[in-house]
Every structure is written in structure tokens, then in C-alpha cells.
Structure 1
Amino acid sequence: LDAVKVEYYGNLVPLSQVANVNTPDAKTISIQPWEKTMLQAIEKGIIISNLGFNPSNDGSVIRVVLPPLTEERRKDIVKKVKSEAENAKITIRNLRKDANENIKRLQKEGLPEDEAKTAETNVQKTIDLHIKKVDELSAAKEAEIMQI
């Protein structure tokens, strides 16, 4: 529910700033607003967020029962995992580019060429290791999500 924004005195604020969010069990989210007047706004925010949840308001607490994952929803989540993994790899590659630029700069300032090559090799090994780790984590998460 991190993406849920709630109108609070004319401003949109994150749900966590106006209520306690708890998970009494694996399939239920309980939202207890700090002000009872916020119940309607929180309920509206959850519906507008388009997460596919149907909140139920009992007058003091809003409960959201998580629906079972459908095949379509699982595929959407896997797409999101792949997208986040790709973003992580792009960030890692940008770090490699920055490190290599720093090595080139140091080389111009007098760093011996053999030390520069060693540094570039070490940077590449580190980058390869972290990209492999991202791929492993992504594959494991995809398998976990698609498991019924």
C-alpha cells in the first residue's frame, strides 16, 4: 500500500502518514487511521490506487482482504520483477562507467598503466558478480511468484 495517497486537509499524503497499517494475517491488511474522519478518504485512496483491492470500512478500521493471485496477476508481477531487475543492472553498469572514467582520469594524473588495467579488471569482475546476483535473485523471485 506504499503507492496509496490519501487526501488530508487538501494535500495528497502517503497512507502511512495518516494511519497505522498492520497485517493481522497473511491475507488481510488492517488500516487504523489516527483520525476517524479519515476513514472515507483512506477508503477512496485505496480504490483510486488501482491495486485491485476492495476495502471494507467497519467504522473504525479499514480491512483489505488480499485476493488470491490469478495467472494474469502473477504474470504482471513477473513483468514488474523483470523491469526492476533490468533497472538494477542499468544502475550497476552506470557505476562501472563512472569507475572506469575515474580510472582514466587517474591515469592522466600519473597512475601507471598496469595499475589502471588491474583496476579496470577488478571493476569488471565486481560488476559481473553483481549482475549475476541480480539475475539469480530475479529468477528466484519469478519462480516463487509463478509457483501455485
Structure 2
Amino acid sequence: MAGFDIKELKRRMDGAVASLHAGLSGLRTGRASASLLEPVTVEAYGSNMPITQVATISVPEPRMISVSVWDKSMVGKVERAIRDSNLGLNPITDGTTLRVPIPELNEERRKELVKVAHQYAEQARVAVRHVRRDGMDTLKKLEKDGEMSQDDSRQMSDRVQKMTDETISELDKTLAEKESEIMQV
């Protein structure tokens, strides 16, 4: 169809799925993982930056994450960002290095992680719905401008809706798998 690229919409929806996978991979079930801190943003130099742009993250042992802050003046801000991240972590400052012990997963902690997983999934669903809306708006405009027939527009709208439903169901399935992984003792 002239001016309408369903492959581009699919690519954007797949991007939302990929970002959910990335976010959930950080929710480790009781084991330290460098990706656990990837969603954390730090107020640095007048803007919010991913923690990976102000520090090096490593995992020296299974229940400990080490965060080496490059700029000494940023240590306090990085520590605060980790504490405020809703990941339930309490970093210990040691010079320019923060040691972040990973707590044992008790029932309460598991439920917190599930809530965070649900937040990630909801963000991904919202992103998919935005892509759907963009696609539908484009179709309406093409139809209104006479660049697409009403039948073609309706047919493409149905395809966009079907693609949206499939993507949301994939997101829900991913969330359910992660939830059962987190709750598994």
C-alpha cells in the first residue's frame, strides 16, 4: 500500500517485545547479574543517564554486584539511584566502588519482583498500543486523502489489529513465564 508499511509496524512491536525481554532478564531470581542494574538511571551532568554510562558493573561473586563509578563526585548519586530503583537493593559504598549484595529471595521479595515484572510488561503493552494507534492513524489519513480505498484500509486495519493482539499475547506469555520463574522456590 502506498505510504503504509506494515513491516515497519511489526518491527516496532517486536522492539517492544525485545525491550520487555531485556528488562525481565535483569530481574534475576536471587543470583547476581550485571543486567539487574541496567534499567537504573542516574541523574548525572544535568540529565538522566543509564548507570552503564557512569560506571562499570561486574559480578565478582554469585550474590554480589560491584559498581565502579568513574567520577568520584557521582558516587552518591549512583548509590541513591540504586536505592530508589525499586529493586530492593542496598549498596555499600567503598571509595568509588559500590558493593551491592543481592538479598535472598523471600516470599515478599519475590512478590516485589513480580510487581516490577508486571510494570515492565505494562510499559511494553503501552508501547505496542502506541504503534497500533500510529498505524491506524496513518490508515485513516491515507483513506481520507484518497490514497487508499475504504476496503483496503479496513483490511489493513484488521491486519494491524491482529498483529497487535498476537504481540500483546506474546508479551503476556513472556510475563507469565518470568512470573513462574520468580515464584519458583
TM-score between both structures, scaled by the size of structure 2: 0.62
Aligned to 2:60: 24
Q: 1:46-67 deviations in whole A, cap 9, x for unaligned? A: 267244324263x675433211
In the alignment, the residues of structure 1 paired with residue 152 and residue 50 of structure 2 have an alpha-carbon distance, to the nearest angstrom, of 49
In the alignment, the residues of structure 2 paired with residue 127 and residue 94 of structure 1 have an alpha-carbon distance, to the nearest angstrom, of 10
Aligned residue among 150, 160, 184 for 1:113: 150
Quote the sequence identity (%): 33
The total of aligned residue pairs comes to 143
Asked if 2 retains the 8 angstrom alpha-carbon contact of 1:43 and 1:62, the reply is no
In the alignment, the residues of structure 1 paired with residue 140 and residue 96 of structure 2 have an alpha-carbon distance, to the nearest angstrom, of 62
Alignment of 1:136 with 2:173, yes or no, is yes
Q: Relative contact order (C-alpha < 8 Å, sep 6+): which is higher?
A: 2
Q: Which structure has the larger Rg over C-alpha atoms?
A: 1
Aligned to 2:75: 42
Aligned to 2:31: none
Name stretches of at least 5 consecutive residues in structure 2 with no aligned partner: 1-36
In the alignment, the residues of structure 2 paired with residue 95 and residue 13 of structure 1 have an alpha-carbon distance, to the nearest angstrom, of 25
Of the structure 1 ranges 107-116 and 45-54, higher mean CA displacement relative to structure 2 is found in 45-54
TM-score between both structures, scaled by the size of structure 1: 0.75
2:100 is paired with a residue of what secondary structure? strand
Q: 1:64-115 deviations in whole A, cap 9, x for unaligned? A: 3211112111111111111221222122122222211211111122211221
Aligned residue among 72, 95, 102 for 2:138: 102
Q: 1:53 to 1:101 in 2, by over 3 A?
A: same
Aligned-pair distance for 1:126?
Answer: 0.6
In the alignment, the residues of structure 2 paired with residue 131 and residue 7 of structure 1 have an alpha-carbon distance, to the nearest angstrom, of 35
Asked if 1 retains the 8 angstrom alpha-carbon contact of 2:91 and 2:101, the reply is yes
Name stretches of at least 5 consecutive residues in structure 1 with no aligned partner: none
**Partner letter of residue 142 of structure 2?**
L
